[in-house]
């Protein structure tokens, strides 16, 4: 059942369905954070319109020219430091606090779900607000790396290996624990709420299909129809994530 061009009344049936299903799983992509001022990487004004990801966002590029790649890191991470959650992030957190949302699986690296109050967040692509040594795997607060004692690019004082933002670059494996959790939550839920993802980036793109095959209903919130819409979506709410989620949470929580 598609519900295009969002009208507040469209959320009535979806709210009832969520309440019937009990705990749900939320899958989010870049589209949930655009209302927080973070451009979608693949949008016309996104970072890939200005940078060739093969030169700046692969593990091979980092190892070949860390100075060049760290300059790129600074440009795309700096805006994340001051970004604030929007109504969609807060609505998801409120639903989790109420016991409606069991887990949030996100492709985003901006930490905004946690800032909004979500506790059980599965980060498929890492978190740009912290950094990790590529050798001993020690974690560092990103702000700490601005100290001159670590140098540029920053080097771990313990093992002398490079420290990089704790995000997954092209050519790296996704965190095994996060991927396992994402699959388990997707197969175990009776309803998956998909917000702001195009459904084109693997392996996250497989999760709605996995949930659907396991018997779940799929509710999708996006500005435009996606590859998911015609394949597995049961309820499509078209519009801004913040507006729709705020409306939906209000009807669920009363």
Active site residues: 125
Q: What letter does residue 190 receive in the DSSP assignment?
A: S
- Cβ–Cβ contacts within 10 Å for residue 191, how many? 23
- 148 CB-contact burial (10 Å; exposed 0-12 / middle 13-18 / buried 19+): exposed
Contact 60/112 with Cβ under 8 angstroms? no
Partner residues linked to 121 by β-bridges: 104
Count of C-beta atoms within a 10 Å radius of residue 157: 12
Rounded to an integer, what distance in angstroms lies between the CA atom of residue 232 and that of residue 212?
7
Instruction: Please say whether the dihedral angle defined by the alpha carbons of residues 137, 142, 144 and 150, taken in this order, is positive or negative.
Output: positive
CA atoms of 35 and 45, how far apart (whole Å): 14
The phi and psi torsions of 155 (rounded to 5 degrees) equal: -125, 135
């Amino acid at each position: 059942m598609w519900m295009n061009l969002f009208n507040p009344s469209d959320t009535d049936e979806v709210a009832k369905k969520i309440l019937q299903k009990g705990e749900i799983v939320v899958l989010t992509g870049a589209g949930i954070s655009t209302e927080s001022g973070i451009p979608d990487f693949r949008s016309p004004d996104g970072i890939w319109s200005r940078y060739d990801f093969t030169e700046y966002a692969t593990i091979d590029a980092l190892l070949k020219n860390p100075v060049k790649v760290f300059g790129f890191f600074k440009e795309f991470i700096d805006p994340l430091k001051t970004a604030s959650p929007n109504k969609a992030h807060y609505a998801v957190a409120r639903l989790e606090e109420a016991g409606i949302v069991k887990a949030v699986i996100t492709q985003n690296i901006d930490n905004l779900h946690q800032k909004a109050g979500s506790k059980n967040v599965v980060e498929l692509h890492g978190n740009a607000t912290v950094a990790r040594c590529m050798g001993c795997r020690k974690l560092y607060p990103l702000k700490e790396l601005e100290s001159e004692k670590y140098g540029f690019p920053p080097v771990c004082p313990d093992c002398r290996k490079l420290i990089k933002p704790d995000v997954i670059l092209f050519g790296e494996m996704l965190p095994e624990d996060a991927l396992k959790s994402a699959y388990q939550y997707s197969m175990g839920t009776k309803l998956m709420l998909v917000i702001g993802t195009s459904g084109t980036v693997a392996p996250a793109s497989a999760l709605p299909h996995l949930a659907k095959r396991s018997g779940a209903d799929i509710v999708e919130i996006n500005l435009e129809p996606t590859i998911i819409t015609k394949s597995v979506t049961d309820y499509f709410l078209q519009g801004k994530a913040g507006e729709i989620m705020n409306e939906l949470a209000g009807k669920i929580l009363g």
